[in-house]
Amino acid sequence: MIDPVFLDTPLYRCEALESRLGCAVSVKLETANPVRSFKARGTELVASLLAGSGQQAVVCASAGNLGQALAWSGRGRGLDVTVVASRRAPAAKLDRIRALGARLELVDGDFEMARERAAAIARRDGVRLVEDSLDIETCEGAATIGLELVEAAPSFDAVLIALGGGALATGIGHVIKALAPGVEVICVQPQGAPAMTLSWRERRVVTTGSADTIADGVAGRFPIPAVLDDLLLVADDAVLVREESITAGMRLLLDHAGLVVEPSAALGVAAVLEDRDRFAGRHVVTVVCGGNVDMDAYRRWTGG
Amino acid sequence: MIDPVFLDTPLYRCEALESRLGCAVSVKLETANPVRSFKARGTELVASLLAGSGQQAVVCASAGNLGQALAWSGRGRGLDVTVVASRRAPAAKLDRIRALGARLELVDGDFEMARERAAAIARRDGVRLVEDSLDIETCEGAATIGLELVEAAPSFDAVLIALGGGALATGIGHVIKALAPGVEVICVQPQGAPAMTLSWRERRVVTTGSADTIADGVAGRFPIPAVLDDLLLVADDAVLVREESITAGMRLLLDHAGLVVEPSAALGVAAVLEDRDRFAGRHVVTVVCGGNVDMDAYRRWTGG
């Protein structure tokens, strides 16, 4: 059900990064597709199922990438797509959602406010609400990345996964733990938006009053209980990284891998930078999960 | 014989570019692999055949990308690789050739001087000289890009291909003309290094006294007669573009596609920028053939 343009993405060793990071590094690149993030793997499933059952509309809240992906997937299947996002989301993401033909509604609050508003629209209009990380299709979509990692007959020791709502981590994590249980599943979140990591550590939902990070794609505050339950089954660790490590990771990926990534996609490299001893001599895969950035901010972050 | 890490590269529509270029644009991305260019498709063939026949050493001249690719392919097969390059080649390319374990010999002149020196080394040591674009494996490697384009059941009208020595253009061009003859094969070269384009236009080898372009990957001066013969069979057109169009193309690919490309890889976009009317409303594929750049120069070119 997933358009092949989103599947079998590049997976390759990036030796130029390795001397800087002190370990073997493979990149799983999820940015070279029409929406520049992994999210369409899940929205392709959602939209296929909806179109197959005769539905005509769908709504989601989005930090920016899910909305683009749902807009793309819905457009191709004749679905009427509404995306609710925070007015503070990167303009590049909002512009692309509109350009893909979705109706975009902006809220003044953060991502959690967008979630509330999207739910209200779904109730009002009686249309399907896509809840990222809660809806199984969003996790199954991400899980196809795990299948591709395992199929590559990997020699790697650990997978570094950006942790936000949890779809990416639980999706990949379930596959890894089922098919390659010796590989460590490490989730990485910004210190400034630590709700899910704190929840994982305390094994109960911990919410935070605010989120303060440039990694807009993972800046949630209210972990979903069912997703936490899943994460507790599959994550070997959840770590928090500093903002300066995220920008350092973005710079390394630009200067030594030629990759333009959004802050969330640099979390894995940031985790290695903050704990080199842990990874020394090991082989890690980092999932470069998205590349949608406002270029002015990107140039500032990467010192261009 | 080609490591799958170099095959089945991303091919996708890039809508954010389309409003800027006035036509539908698909990208065939050859930078997301261990050597960040398409060249390893050919060197994998070369190295496999050499290793299979018991050879132990190989030498090539390189503008920078072939050398990296041959170093990578030779290392995996126990071959002793020597690369001859111009001292003026981008430092990033030279550093990576060394890092991949090849012996690097620098000459004071340009790429054509490197070709002479590599041939002398091959004669002296009795080892195989890999001549880019002349040796059929280098063209066959590039031709696998053409196969992937055709297998994608394309709706596109034209393929834009960087033209240097000619391996990429003749390799892809032969496949397109055999299997999708309605698709226009358009070669693009910088005005500052026009030897092969002038040769194609005059249907005889035309050499130039110097090459002056930032597109280091295609800056040859002495077209190979047999390659010109091939190019005359498969190219529908060969166009020349200005340096400012190349940098504008690099900026567009960065700002609207999130792609870090070397100047040669922006030639296709440059060609559209210089002749919008020709491409208006059509669907073009541009082969993003390499991403090895010195970041200081890159930031200067892209106004970062």
| pLDDT digit string, tens, across residues B70-112 | 999 999 999 999 999 999 999 999 999 999 999 999 999 999 9
Strand order in the sheet with A128-130: A103-107, A80-86, A57-62, A128-130
Of B130, B163, B197, the position where a domain reaches its end is B130
Question: pLDDT, tens digit, for every residue of A287-299?
Answer: 999 999 999 999 9
Under an 8 Å CB criterion, which residues of B touch A?
5, 8-16, 27, 29, 31-34, 36, 96, 99-100, 254-255, 258-260, 291-293, 295, 299, 304
Structure tokens at B1: 């014989």
pLDDT of residue B87: 96
Taking Cα atoms as reference points, which of A236, A239, A158 lies closest to residue A196? A239
Residues A89, A116: one domain?
yes
For residues B155 and B213, membership in a common domain is answered with yes
B50 & B20 share domain:
no
Whether residue A143 is found in the same domain as residue A270: yes
DSSP state, residue A109: S
Per the domain annotation, does B149 fall within a domain? yes
Distance of alpha carbon A225 from the chain centroid: 18
CA distance B280 to B272: 9
User: Span B4-30, mean pLDDT?
Assistant: 97
Q: How many domains does chain A have?
A: 2
Q: Is B146 helix (H, G, I), strand (E, B) or coil?
A: helix
| Complete edge-to-edge strand list for the sheet that includes strand A24-29 | A11-13, A24-29, A283-288, A158-162, A184-190, A237-241
- Give which of A123, A1, A121 is closest to A53, Cα–Cα: A1
Residue B124 lies in a domain: yes
- Residues A107, A222: one domain? no
Residues A155-196: pLDDT tens digits? 899 999 999 999 999 999 999 999 999 999 999 999 999 999
- Evaluate whether ipTM surpasses 0.90: yes
B23 and B45 share a domain? no
A71-88: per-residue pLDDT in tens?
Answer: 999 999 999 999 999 999
Average pLDDT across chain B, whole number: 97
Residues of chain A scoring pLDDT < 50: none
A11 contacts B34? CB cut-off 8 A: no
Query: What are the backbone dihedrals phi and psi of residue B55, each rounded to the nearest 5 degrees, phi first?
Result: -70, 155
Are A99 and B10 in contact (CB < 8 Å)?
A: no
Asked if residue B174 and residue B26 are part of one domain, the reply reads yes
A16 contacts B99? CB cut-off 8 A: yes
Chain A contacts of B15, Cβ < 8 Å? 34, 99-100
pLDDT, position A304: 52
The verdict on B18 and B105 lying in the same domain is no
Residues of A whose CB is below 8 A from B291: 258
**B166 and B196 in contact (C-beta within 8 Å)?**
yes
**CATH of residue B60:** 3.40.50.1100
pLDDT exceeds 80 at position B255: yes
Domain boundary among B70, B97, B130: B130
Test B29 with A34 for CB contact under 8 angstroms.
no
- Cβ neighbours for A269, distance < 8 A, ≥ 6 positions apart: A17, A21, A25, A160, A248, A249, A252, A253, A286
Out of B130, B149, B176, a domain closes at B130
Contacts of A266 in chain B (CB under 8 A): none
- What is the Cα A248 distance to its own chain's centre? 19
Q: What is the pLDDT of residue B303?
A: 87
For residues B147 and B249, membership in a common domain is answered with: yes
Residue B153 has pLDDT above 80, yes or no: no
The H or E element spanning position A101 is none
pLDDT 10s digits, B46-55: 999 999 999 9
Helix (H, G, I), strand (E, B) or coil at B207: coil
- Both B189 and B286 in one domain: the answer is yes
Asked if residue A210 and residue A157 are part of one domain, the reply reads yes
B17/B70 same-domain check: no
Residue ranges making up the domain that contains A102: 40-130
Query: How many Cβ contacts (< 8 angstroms) between chains A and B?
Result: 63
**B135 part of a folded domain:** no
Residues paired with residue A207 on neighbouring β-strands, in sequence order = none
Nearest CA in chain B to A95: B16
Is the pLDDT reported for residue B224 higher than 90?
yes
User: Which of B94, B251, B254 to mutate to test binding with chain A, by most A CBs within 10 Å of its CB?
Assistant: B254
Share of chain A above pLDDT 70, in %: 99
Side-chain-side CA neighbours of residue A304 (13 Å): 28
> Which residue has 């990036």 as its token pair?
A14
